[in-house]
Structure 1
């Protein structure tokens, strides 16, 4: 952790549970000892860094949250007790619905393109993700937008996450807040990003439509401003 901090990292991601894409582990198993999880969190926080936990299994979710991790990524097998622990410790939940949907789709349509264990785990894990986001949202857990984008979901498709969050029960307004003010608060940069206010970075997008009525309009961005400079207008690139 200290080495990564010296190299410029501002966030540490730990893997306290098995994964879906990884080979040879079980998403339900806790793969880090409690002392290891605590050592990472305490060291990172002392250096002003955030800690995210890739956690599918309930045990890893509960332990990481209780030990002070900043966010749980995936959270597939969380339950009501998990949500109580997360609320008590102010833990954020990043549901990563898009990558789950993409892996599940691949496991069903082209299982030969995945490692057999990955396909099997995807079919087991992903169906519970929608229910879990619904339950976490209903329980009042803080939710931040995140896609876990990699080869299954390409950069540029990120906004498809919004529709999946709304399908799971979030209001469009809350899904948008999760991607703006919520995500900014989670990473500790709300003083600069996440809202349109005097003194914040002028990072703004606009769409032709009302995303509160149809959240999929956010998948068709027509205007992009970054740091006060317009890079896209009327759906076309603009030379800065």
Structure 2
């Protein structure tokens, strides 16, 4: 937790919560052990600093600017953006925002323009992106298709989103030798959908089946679960 957050009541996304000596200790230890380092981070200032320390990747990055995006591209640092918690803010849905806790709502308004611009920069960049949700209070974990909706309605290429959720996520988690793509020698982990993922932003909410290691598990239709 390198910075404060949006949902937490007593800090802000701009707050840096560790000093340089603490960061150095973390990175030195991780590099000696040859393990990756990632961080919860929002601001360009801290993203610059963490790239300088040799971070593997970061989560959120919601207040991205163009200079920082270029640093990600040049160093191969990955980013897992989490769009859903700020979707109502980006869309300007005041009714939905008003349902959030008071401090959460205040920060969403305070950072609204930067959240919109940051998302635009992330999706226009060539940063290696993973797929995550950070739902917190907005959805249940099994509703992760709302993150797909957030990407597509923000103009993301569907193929890029699907690649982020499969191949890229497997590489980020260092399990790409066994999963993440469909090819001989990997787990037969496959899912099918009732709707066209390339055209319908709601499609990921309506799963037809999940195949886990070759065994098919049928699922309920999402419309029956509402």
- TM-score, normalised to structure 2, is 0.85
Equivalent residue in structure 2 for 1:187, among 161, 164, 173: 173
For residues 168-199 of structure 1, give each alpha carbon's deviation from its aligned partner in whole angstroms, at most 9, with x where no partner exists. Answer: 22101111111011111111111111111111
Matched residue, 1:202: 188
Matched residue, 1:12: none
Shift of 1:204: 0.8
Contact 2:78 2:128 (8 Å CA) reproduced: yes
Unaligned runs of 5+ residues in structure 1 are 1-14
Higher mean C-alpha deviation, range 123-132 or range 141-150: 123-132
Tell me the distance in 2 between the aligned counterparts of 1:195 and 1:102. 32
Unaligned runs of 5+ residues in structure 2 are none
Contact 2:148 2:201 (8 Å CA) reproduced: yes
Q: Which runs of 4+ in 1 moved over 4 A?
A: 102-105, 110-115, 233-236
Greater strand share, structure number:
1
Residues 27, 33 of structure 1: CA spacing in aligned structure 2 closer, same or farther, 3 A cutoff? same
Tell me the distance in 2 between the aligned counterparts of 1:217 and 1:17. 34
Equivalent residue in structure 2 for 1:109, among 74, 85, 95: 95
- TM-score, normalised to structure 1, is 0.81
Matched residue, 1:7: none
Matched residue, 1:39: 25
Tell me the distance in 2 between the aligned counterparts of 1:38 and 1:192. 33
Contact 2:64 2:119 (8 Å CA) reproduced: no
Matches within 5 A, 1:91-106: 91-101=77-87
Secondary structure class of the residue paired with 2:59: strand
